């Protein structure tokens, strides 16, 4: 971006997406450095913390830093995406840098109308773990998480990640399940524990299996027509390292595209 600016071709708008840790890494110094780099090239900037769960059945909070050469007042306003972490990052900025801050206005996204269960492949088309494998997974759950698998006579679909927890001074591997209709945040594949597990409980029977690449793509908002790499590892990397497409589409519709309209058009509004 700096090179483009030096050549007189700087974009009017820059959007940077990152994990929420960007706001607090190095005690906030990394975020301040990013803001200083943007401000040095004539941009005003602000940040929004958006969880993809607003639009998709995946818990995926991410920070979107939006920087623009022009920030008309009509695009400013408080909203729910100015989270506590966003406000803390802003408060930590030096006054001269905070003067370039914009509280970007953003409306309420459409209500999500699908759950994790609605994105899964049919039971008959996927490879399930053996009963012994499922029992070992359940054995890693603490009592609270095991209780979430009690579905009575209905069907419960959950998403499981393995995590290392410290209990009574010892590191213990735990399997943690959520049955709230959301998947956990997709990760890039770095090993067996980084790949999310699906658990289905029906009529007292518990089954488990790994999430498929196509299911991961759906959790990112990609249509089934999207061409995935043939390798499962590569396909899961595409999903785990990507941006949730409905979030980007909504952000573009609500803020980015209006900001890019000609100045005269914005003034008429």
Structure confidence by residue, pLDDT tens digits, 38-76: 999 999 999 999 999 999 999 999 999 999 998 888 899
pLDDT for 139-156, tens place per residue?
Answer: 999 999 999 998 666 889
Q: Cα separation of 199 and 207, whole Å?
A: 6
Is the model's pLDDT at 263 over the cut of 70? Answer: no
Q: What pLDDT was estimated at residue 264? A: 42
Helix-, strand-, coil-residue percentages of the chain, each rounded to 5: 40, 25, 40
Better-scored residue on pLDDT, 36 or 112 = 36
Is the model's pLDDT at 36 over the cut of 90? Answer: yes
Q: Cα separation of 53 and 84, whole Å?
A: 18
User: Would you place residue 194 in the very low, low, confident or very high pLDDT band (cuts 50, 70, 90)?
Assistant: confident
Q: How many CB atoms sit inside 10 A of residue 141's CB?
A: 18
Average pLDDT, the chain: 92
User: Would you place residue 269 in the very low, low, confident or very high pLDDT band (cuts 50, 70, 90)?
Assistant: very low
User: Would you place residue 265 in the very low, low, confident or very high pLDDT band (cuts 50, 70, 90)?
Assistant: very low
Is the model's pLDDT at 81 over the cut of 60? Answer: yes
Which of 81-90, 189-198, 252-261 comes out lowest in average pLDDT? 189-198
Closest CA relative to residue 73, chosen from 264, 259, 265, 232? 259
Q: What pLDDT was estimated at residue 230? A: 94
List of residues 6+ apart from 260 with CB closer than 8 A: 12, 13
Tokens of 224: 């089934």
Q: Where are the domains of the chain?
A: 2-111+245-268, 122-211
Q: Cα separation of 11 and 64, whole Å?
A: 17
Q: What pLDDT was estimated at residue 268? A: 41
Indicate left, alpha or beta for 197 from its phi (over 0: left) and psi (-120 to 50: alpha): beta
Quote the pTM value: 0.90
């Amino acid at each position: 971006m700096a090179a483009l600016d030096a050549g007189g071709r700087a974009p009017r708008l820059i959007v940077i997406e990152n994990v929420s840790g960007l706001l607090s890494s190095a005690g906030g110094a990394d975020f301040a450095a990013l803001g200083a780099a943007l401000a040095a090239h004539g941009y005003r900037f602000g940040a929004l913390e958006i969880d993809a769960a607003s639009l998709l059945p995946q818990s995926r909070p991410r920070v979107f830093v939006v920087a623009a050469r022009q920030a008309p007042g009509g695009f400013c306003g408080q909203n729910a995406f100015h989270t506590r972490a966003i406000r803390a990052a802003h408060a930590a900025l030096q006054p001269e840098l905070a003067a370039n801050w914009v509280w970007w206005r953003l409306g309420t996204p459409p209500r999500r109308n699908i759950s994790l269960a609605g994105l899964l492949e049919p039971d008959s088309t996927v490879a399930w773990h053996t009963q012994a494998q499922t029992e070992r997974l359940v054995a890693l759950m603490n009592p609270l998480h095991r209780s979430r698998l009690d579905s009575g006579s209905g069907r419960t679909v959950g998403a499981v990640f393995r995590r290392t927890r410290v209990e009574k001074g010892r590191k213990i591997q735990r399997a943690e399940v959520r049955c709230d209709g959301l998947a956990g945040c997709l990760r890039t594949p770095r090993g067996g524990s980084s790949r999310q597990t699906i658990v289905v409980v029906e009529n007292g029977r518990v089954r488990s299996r790994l999430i498929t690449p196509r299911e991961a793509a759906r959790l990112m908002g990609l249509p089934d027509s999207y061409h995935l790499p043939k390798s499962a590892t590569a396909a899961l990397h595409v999903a785990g390292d990507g941006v949730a497409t409905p979030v980007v589409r909504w952000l573009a519709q609500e803020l980015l595209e209006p900001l890019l309209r000609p100045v005269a058009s914005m003034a008429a509004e």
